[in-house]
Amino acid sequence: MPSAIVIGGGLAGLASAAALGQAGFQVHVFEARGFLGGRATSYPVPGDNSEVIDNCQHVLLRCCVNLMDFYGRLGVADRIQFHKKFYFIEPGGRTSILEAGALPAPLHFTGSFWKLPFLGMSDKIGIARAMWSIRREHGRRRDLDRITMLDWLREKRQTETAIGRFWNQVLVSAVNEDLDRMAASHGFQVFWLGFLARANAYQMGIPSVPLGDLYSSEALQRIGNVRLHLREPVEQIVVENGVIRGVLAAGERHTADYYISTVPFERMPALFPQLQLDLAGFEHSPITGIHLWFDRSLTQLPHATLLDRTIQWMFNKSGGRYLQLVVSASRSLAEMPRAEVIAMAMRDLAEFFPRAKEAKIEKAHVVKEIRATFSARPGLEQLRPASATKFPNLFLAGDWTRTGWPPIMEGAVRSGYLAAEAVSRSAGQEREFLLPDIA
Ligand SMILES: Cc1cc2nc3c(=O)[nH]c(=O)nc-3n(C[C@H](O)[C@H](O)[C@H](O)COP(=O)(O)OP(=O)(O)OC[C@H]3O[C@@H](n4cnc5c(N)ncnc54)[C@H](O)[C@@H]3O)c2cc1C
């Protein structure tokens, strides 16, 4: 049985381990921390072991077919609940709903889109024109990785309201970057696959359990052939005669036929100095999650995107009394003391949910993920390394490697499947794990 060592138990590592394990490889996963999931994980609230929270609400769209395939391998696909309505709320509380109607794609939003009260007629006509441009230019236009999404929107003469309330609202959360820093290719990807390709592709999947429960050790062990080594960071790589001969973890040497590294890009120079990767173009983009528990229910909506303020998304985690708020590309909050972040969130909430004015906070927790994802800026795609390396038995994965996708869970799983395919090819098996895009 060929063997593989996977470094890192985040989504990329677990996806490659699950694929190779099911293909008959003996796989060992080394994870530095005591739990799985990497940046998409959950843990007890500090100081209150009774409550487990996600580091931040993670959502997916139905077009994320490889992520769903991975959940299927773990037997947890039914724990993702898909929502067909997007709620946009304006300060003052007026709520608009975007949902697919009876028409086939790409016309499926026609009914609800033209009725959205938070956009004017000229905003909507401009957005509709831009959507047709995405259909026309997708796969044809060559400069989309060199210009920002904002450049492209200006070229398409989008109104300020359309940019602020529609494009910005959808894309900053989806790509975790501001429009003036985000490569247009990523904005295209989100709208092409998520909004235009199929009538149900936009549906938002939200896990019904804490993230950590999706990839429990038991689920992975059920796959067979996958052995987990938690709290065993790989400290060093052993290279002999141009081939990886082992890894050192917890003072022991472990060997395998193949090695897959899925550590984040900032860890690469220390762990793999031999690769001399050019990572100068990589920067981080932060995400802030704000968890608030109230003495009363603030809303019955399951989730909503909040317009024109700092908080971008609200997720209702428990009857309107526990809300999880998300700010993507949250550079403005990086230095802000936590008490101020909570005060800002309360001011914002009071404008959208009147009950917030009287509500008392029972508990609050702010998670600032300064290294949440890489910044998906123009010109980066060509710097993202492919899975093959100069060592014939070492492969790279992770959301930052070259998948063409923004830094999201689907990209991480894709990178894991690509690395597993490369391993399988090297072992003479030619297995395919990656599912093609829906369009
Ligand atoms: C706050 C936040 C919100 C997000 N929201 C969303 C969302 O809504 N939707 C979405 O699709 N994506 C979202 N993302 C992005 C998503 O979480 C990531 O793209 C994905 O989890 C990356 O997976 P990965 O396996 O590539 O990397 P990681 O999750 O970083 O995994 C790498 C693993 O390697 C381990 N490691 C590092 N060094 C070593 C070592 N020496 N030895 C052993 N192990 C090591 C780490 O502990 C880690 O577990 C969000 C990210 C954050 C931070």
Q: Which atom of ligand 1 is nearest to the CA of 267?
A: 38
pLDDT higher than threshold 90 for residue 218:
no
Q: 41 alpha carbon to ligand 1 midpoint, in Å?
A: 8
Residues paired with 228 in a beta bridge: 29
What's the rounded mean pLDDT across residues 392-416? 98
211 within 8 A of 41, measured Cβ to Cβ: yes
pLDDT value, residue 263: 98
What's the rounded mean pLDDT across residues 368-378? 98
Per-residue pLDDT tens for 260-289?
Answer: 999 999 999 999 999 999 999 999 999 999
What's the rounded mean pLDDT across residues 63-68? 98
Place of tokens 């369009």: 439
Q: CA separation (Å) from 141 to 137, 185, 293, 346?
A: 5, 10, 47, 44
Most ligand 1 atoms within 8 A of CB, residue of 11, 39, 193, 409 to mutate:
39
Q: Report the alpha-carbon distance of residue 399 to residue 41 in Å, rounded.
A: 15
In this structure, what are the phi and psi dihedrals at residue 53, rounded to the nearest 5 degrees?
-125, 155
Place of tokens 């052993």: 238
pLDDT higher than threshold 90 for residue 221:
no
216 within 8 A of 15, measured Cβ to Cβ: no
Per-residue pLDDT tens for 291-341?
Answer: 999 999 999 999 999 999 999 999 999 999 999 999 999 999 999 999 999
What's the rounded mean pLDDT across residues 353-363? 97
Per-residue pLDDT tens for 230-251?
Answer: 999 999 999 999 999 999 999 9
Q: Which atom of ligand 1 is nearest to the CA of 57?
A: 8
Ligand 1 shell residues, CB under 6 Å = 7-13, 30-33, 38-40, 55-56, 58-60, 233-234, 262-264, 267, 271, 287, 289, 369, 372-373, 398-399, 407-409, 412
Most ligand 1 atoms within 8 A of CB, residue of 35, 291, 408, 413 to mutate:
408
What's the rounded mean pLDDT across residues 189-217? 96
Which protein residue has the closest C-alpha to ligand 1 atom 19?
408
Integer-rounded Cα Rg, in Å, for the chain is 22
pLDDT value, residue 219: 86
Task: Report helix, strand or coil for 248.
Answer: strand
Per-residue pLDDT tens for 88-105?
Answer: 999 999 999 999 999 999
HSE-CB of 197 using CA atoms within 13 angstroms: 18
What's the rounded mean pLDDT across residues 188-205? 97
The set of residues, in sequence order, having a beta carbon less than 8 Å from that of 217 and lying 6+ positions away, is 36, 228, 230
pLDDT value, residue 217: 83
User: pTM of the prediction?
Assistant: 0.97
Q: HEC profile for 276-329?
A: CCCCCCCCEEEEEEEEEEECCCCCCCCEEEECCCCCCEEEEEECCCEEEEEEEC
Task: With cut-offs at 50, 70 and 90, classify the pLDDT of residue 222.
Answer: confident
The gap from C-alpha 22 to its chain's centroid, in whole angstroms, comes to: 25
pLDDT higher than threshold 90 for residue 398:
yes
Residues paired with 151 in a beta bridge: none
Per-residue pLDDT tens for 115-140?
Answer: 999 999 999 999 999 999 999 999 99
Burial class (CB in 10 A: 0-12, 13-18, 19+), 39: buried
pLDDT higher than threshold 90 for residue 418:
yes
pLDDT higher than threshold 90 for residue 210:
yes
Q: Report the alpha-carbon distance of residue 24 to residue 184 in Å, rounded.
A: 40
pLDDT value, residue 69: 98
Q: Which atom of ligand 1 is nearest to the CA of 407?
A: 19
pLDDT higher than threshold 90 for residue 220:
no
What's the rounded mean pLDDT across residues 76-85? 97
Percent of the chain with pLDDT over 90: 96
Element (H, E) at 205: strand 204-207
Which protein residue has the closest C-alpha to ligand 1 atom 35?
8
Closest CA to 6 of 427, 345, 417: 417
Residues paired with 176 in a beta bridge: none
What's the rounded mean pLDDT across residues 6-21? 98
In this structure, what are the phi and psi dihedrals at residue 193, rounded to the nearest 5 degrees?
-85, -40
pLDDT value, residue 224: 85
Question: What rounded mean pLDDT belongs to the chain?
Answer: 97
pLDDT value, residue 313: 98
CB atoms within 10 A of CB 112: 16
Helices marked H in 51-148: 65-74, 110-115, 121-137
In this structure, what are the phi and psi dihedrals at residue 54, rounded to the nearest 5 degrees?
-75, 150
Q: Which atom of ligand 1 is nearest to the CA of 371?
A: 53
